[in-house]
A and B are shown apart, each in its own frame.
Chain A
Amino acid sequence: MSGAVPWNEARAQEIIDAHLGLEGPALPILHAIQEEFGYVPEAAVPQIAQSLNISRAEMHGVVSFYHDFRRAPAGRHVLKLCRAESCQSMGSEKIAKDFLERVKLEWGGTANDGSLTVEAVYCLGLCAHSPGALYDNEPIGRVDAEMLDELAAEARNS
């Protein structure tokens, strides 16, 4: 997920301003901020609030409501493993649990070397090829232990 740039208030303002013409611009702004900086920095919250003419607390409430907005940068790569019913029917829970043990991570955790963040998702629409996953937004079906180990190794080396 690399390519993120360091926090820059002027750049953030450009992004915010570019969206102000939309009806209900908050989510598009947050997505664009996260796309640019890799997460939604604390400093961005009051800045967006001010531009949208809402309170800082209100904006905070928006950011914290959605699972996808990060409050801190993720690892260089992000692996999202599906935990919903269809994937469970194909043994996803055990595959994920064993993998997390092998890489010594908890759900939502990032490896010490910053290579990989592992997150839970609930359905990726890959349910005919369960278990499903997304690795840096690339879909993967029929996930198994070997594939996950390969991805973790690739993440460490890139």
Chain B
Amino acid sequence: MTEEEKQESAFSRFGRSFKELLYGMAGHDMTRYALKTRGSMEHLFILITMGDLLGVPILPPYYSLRLLPYVVPQISTWKRRMLRERDLTDALA
């Protein structure tokens, strides 16, 4: 490796670390917030479309069945979330 290349890689390493630092300071929380909001909405959405799993029929079943394959992975976590006890740590997450 030549001196030049070493220097460049040190530069780009520094640049990358700086970017990540900046993201950590400014962006990470926002990202987490955005994803968390989307997660809540996801559950709200499943409640609306698949509500009859909890005994709340809303969308006509013929069409809610069409959506079922996409929400299979979420169904177990969603039911857990719907039926979970709430406590103080929810506000901090």
The answer to whether A and B belong to the same complex is: no
- Which residues of B come within 8 Å of A, CB atoms? none
- Which residues of A come within 8 Å of B, CB atoms? none
